[in-house]
Amino acid sequence: MVLETQQLGNAKVGAPEPRHAETVMVKVYRYNPRAKGEGPKKPIFKVPVERGTTVLEALLWIKEHDEPGLALRYSCRMGICGSCGVLVNGQPRLACETQVEELDSEMVEVGPLPTFPLIRDLATDFSDFLLNHHRIKPYLIRNEDTIGRPVLQELSQTEQQELDYYQFTMCIMCGLCNAACPVQATDCEFLGPQALAQAYRFAADSRDQGWPERRDVVDTVHGCWGCRLAGSCSFVCPKGVDPALGIQLLKRRVLTKSTRSSSQNPKLHD
């Protein structure tokens, strides 16, 4: 479609308004723990932005134009992989989903996620995080699952049985919930909201029969009983998983001391 314009004096009626370049000041945490004699620094960069510019795009602009050695994690750029979690103005966020404009701040400060060991700059180590996730056995366990005896039948569910745990399947393992958790910051053995919420996800699955095994992992002072219900994990979750709810439902399940099959699990909202 051709945009028609009319000459009116020195202005064109119907022509798009010229875009004015805008900039934002971005303060970025930089530190290499293995570099001797160098402490943490927070250099400030002047970054051009426009409507829709994300924090991740701002960081990549800095990396391309000013600091090629800046270390950060990212992959999909669309809020699916969970790789780009950072601290933005003091709050754990996904850099690819956080627009600079929505922060409404003259200075955007970006740092690494707390509670995670620092690798360098904005990149943190998720080894313990992934280990805790593995400890809760994040897969379906069936009594007939033995070596050489695969499950030969389809395990069907009703719509309600699926809804009992569906919201907890939305976890993308970004680590924001663990970064926001005050217990995680003080107890290095705490399983963390991500792992505990996923433990409930499988406990509430009608197809699973592994509750006795998971109960031994979560029924400890460093498991679900370590949670103090601050709720910060659910506040920062970018996918609405609500880990705090999952942990409370997990506590209820532990207290019942139930070893019945998962098909008799209490409903999510009962």
pTM of the model: 0.83
CATH code of domain 127-150+157-264? 1.10.1060.10
Q: Exposed, middle or buried by CB within 10 Å (0-12, 13-18, 19+), for 98?
A: buried
**Residue-level pLDDT at 150:** 67
The segments of the chain whose pLDDT lies below 70 read 1-21, 145-151, 257-270
Q: What backbone phi and psi angles, to 5 degrees, belong to 202?
A: -80, -30
pLDDT digits (tens, 9 = 90+) for 149-165: 666 778 899 999 999 99
**Residue-level pLDDT at 145:** 65
Return the closest-CA partner of residue 261 out of 151, 155, 150: 155
**Residue-level pLDDT at 2:** 36
CATH topology of domain 22-124: Ubiquitin-like (UB roll) (3.10.20)
pLDDT digits (tens, 9 = 90+) for 19-47: 445 999 999 999 999 988 889 999 999 99
228 within 8 A of 185, measured Cβ to Cβ:
no
Q: Where in the chain is the domain with CATH 3.10.20.30?
A: 22-124
227 within 8 A of 216, measured Cβ to Cβ:
no
Token pair for 262: 């998962």
Q: Where in the chain is the domain with CATH 1.10.1060.10?
A: 127-150+157-264
**Residue-level pLDDT at 10:** 43
